[in-house]
Amino acid sequence: MSEMAPMPGMTHSMPMRVYYEDTDAAGIVYYANYLKFAERGRTEMMRSLGFAHSRIAEETGIVFTVRRCSADYRAAARLDDALTVETRIAEIGAATLSLDQQIRRNGETIVALDVLVACVGRDSRPRRVPRSLRAALMQPAPIKPPIVQKTP
């Protein structure tokens, strides 16, 4: 039986812009790039809590890997669109994080993702979510990150 329990719904928001490299010949974001946008959102959420992936791996030997992901593509983003990647903690399990991610343009969800991230050791075996990270993720207040944009 799963040890997952509903969390208060901490949300992290990351603004970003669509660059030429993100699009196809028609100037529409290539579908796989939304997965990259979501990954950046999860990474910046962790970083804003003081848990850079590189530091966690170095100090504990723990890394995070996507175990399951489903995406509902509702509308296309285009070159130069300003987007927001919102990441909400849905549940925290013993060795997993369940996340609800929304990629939005002008407040409208254009892609909705449900992501299950597994916490594993260097040997790829499951490891418990570190206590300090669990405590930080259980914060009910939204976190306001600095604006982070990819440099060309």
Catalytic site residues? 24
Listed residue (139, 145, 105) closest to 12, CA to CA:
145
| 137 phi-psi bin (left φ>0, alpha ψ -120 to 50, beta other) | alpha
Q: Which of 8, 13, 42 is nearest to 135 (CA)?
A: 8
Report the phi/psi class of residue 142: left, alpha or beta, with left for phi > 0 and alpha for psi in -120 to 50.
Answer: beta
